[in-house]
Structure 1
Amino acid sequence: MFDLSSSAWQFGIAPIELVVRSLLVYLVFLAALRVSGKRELGQFTLFDLAAVLLAANALQPAITGADASLPGAVVILVTLFGANRVVALGRRRSTFLRRLLDVPPTTIARDGAWIRPQLEREGLDDEDLAAALREHGLESIDQVQLAVLEHDGAISVVPREGRHVRMHARVRRYRTRGPGVR
């Protein structure tokens, strides 16, 4: 039924090389995301999805090399998920890592006016801005005291005082620790 001597079950290259390749590509990909800015981390458009899929396709040979084996794929997956977990934990515990990895928030509107140079630098267009206002139950920029493009690509809006604003419910999912985990 299964031929364990076939190349699908044999490493094509040394497992340690797969680990090193995976880690290097992961670090390069993290750096590319950091440089690309907050807009790329927010809501994906169809073009963003295409770019991510093409990047994954381009990076795959750099990770796998000549290895097309099942054990090689498992080593790569464990390495990438492990690296991601280590980075997430380190980011949570280290201010230095948080500053290194997170793009700082950018003020994009203040006192009822958009800050155009910031919008251009962040790659936001009028459609993005109108959608952010609608999401927060606002009709115009005149109702905004402060708007900030957050490190995760979301836009936070603080309405002007004295304005009654109906806020749309916005659900964010946070990872919770299991029972007994500290």
Structure 2
Amino acid sequence: MNPYLDIVIRSVCVYLFMVIALRIFGKKELSQLNTADVILILLISNSVQNAMVGSNSSLLGGIVAALVLFIVNFLLKRIMYRSKFIKELVQDKPEILVHNGKIEFKTLAKLGITSDELQEAMREHGIEFYKDVRLAMMEIDGNISIISGNETIKQTHHKRKTHKTLGNIIN
């Protein structure tokens, strides 16, 4: 087999494995990384390097592996954009953690979120008490977003990326 085709196949397999592993272990792993998480990421990247390139440690072999990862990632995002089924298969849905001051303990337990982590997110949003939380969500990217019922508390707003059409660019 062509050594570069071998790298392509190995890289695709490693990429798909990582997508599945992150899906199984949850989106919480992607949010605020601690020291152990950073070490894990470094060790995983080191362990899968040889699985992708095999004995080929050439510059071209590394570039081929990296290019394949970029292409597979691009294609997966395009497929997820077009297919609701694939998107739901790969990506979790947002989860309600607190609604109108009431904590969803089952959801917190399912996601492995401690009360300390939830309180930290509340403090980051300027909220001290659970009763002041109108809605707290674990978002699909692993971050916790919080909306308070108090209009005087500054909320953190995230701008949604929009795709510009030719009409939007001209106008």
In which range does the TM-score fall when normalised by the shorter chain?
A: 0.7 to 0.9
Judging changes above 3 Å, is the alpha-carbon distance between structure 1 residues 76 and 94 closer, same or farther for their aligned structure 2 residues? Answer: same
User: Once structures 1 and 2 are overlaid, which stretch shifts more, 135-144 or 80-89?
Assistant: 135-144
Q: Displacement of 1:80 after TM fit?
A: 0.6
> Do structure 1's residue 68 and structure 2's residue 77 form an aligned pair?
no
* Secondary structure in 2 matching 1:139: coil
User: Once structures 1 and 2 are overlaid, which stretch shifts more, 78-87 or 149-158?
Assistant: 149-158
**1:143-180 CA deviation, whole Å, 9 max, x = no partner?**
112221111112122323xx334224445574866979
Larger radius of gyration: 1
The match for 2:119 among 127, 130, 141 is 130
The percentage of aligned residue pairs carrying the same residue is: 32
Native 8 Å contact 1:135 1:168 kept in 2? no
* Residue 26 (structure 2) aligns with: 37
* Residue 68 (structure 2) aligns with: 79
- Where in structure 2 are there 5+ consecutive unaligned residues? none
* Residue 48 (structure 2) aligns with: 59
> Which AA in structure 2 matches 1:80?
L
Native 8 Å contact 2:147 2:155 kept in 1? no
- What TM-score comes out, normalization by structure 2 length? 0.86
- Cα distance between partner residues in 2 of 1:91 and 1:79: 18
**1:53-80 CA deviation, whole Å, 9 max, x = no partner?**
1111111111111111111111111101
- Cα distance between partner residues in 2 of 1:147 and 1:175: 24
- Cα distance between partner residues in 2 of 1:178 and 1:50: 41
* Residue 138 (structure 2) aligns with: 149
Which one has the bigger helix percentage? Answer: 2
**1:28-63 CA deviation, whole Å, 9 max, x = no partner?**
000001111121121212211111111111111111
> Which AA in structure 2 matches 1:126?
S
Judging changes above 3 Å, is the alpha-carbon distance between structure 1 residues 56 and 177 closer, same or farther for their aligned structure 2 residues? Answer: farther
- Cα distance between partner residues in 1 of 2:24 and 2:166: 37
> Do structure 1's residue 166 and structure 2's residue 153 form an aligned pair?
yes
> Which AA in structure 1 matches 2:33?
F
* Secondary structure in 2 matching 1:31: helix
Judging changes above 3 Å, is the alpha-carbon distance between structure 1 residues 179 and 46 closer, same or farther for their aligned structure 2 residues? Answer: farther
Judging changes above 3 Å, is the alpha-carbon distance between structure 1 residues 47 and 19 closer, same or farther for their aligned structure 2 residues? Answer: same
Q: Displacement of 1:113 after TM fit?
A: 2.4
- What TM-score comes out, normalization by structure 1 length? 0.81
Native 8 Å contact 1:135 1:167 kept in 2? no
**1:99-148 CA deviation, whole Å, 9 max, x = no partner?**
11111121111231222222122121223211221232211101112221
- Cα distance between partner residues in 2 of 1:174 and 1:99: 20
Equivalences, count: 167
- Where in structure 1 are there 5+ consecutive unaligned residues? 1-12
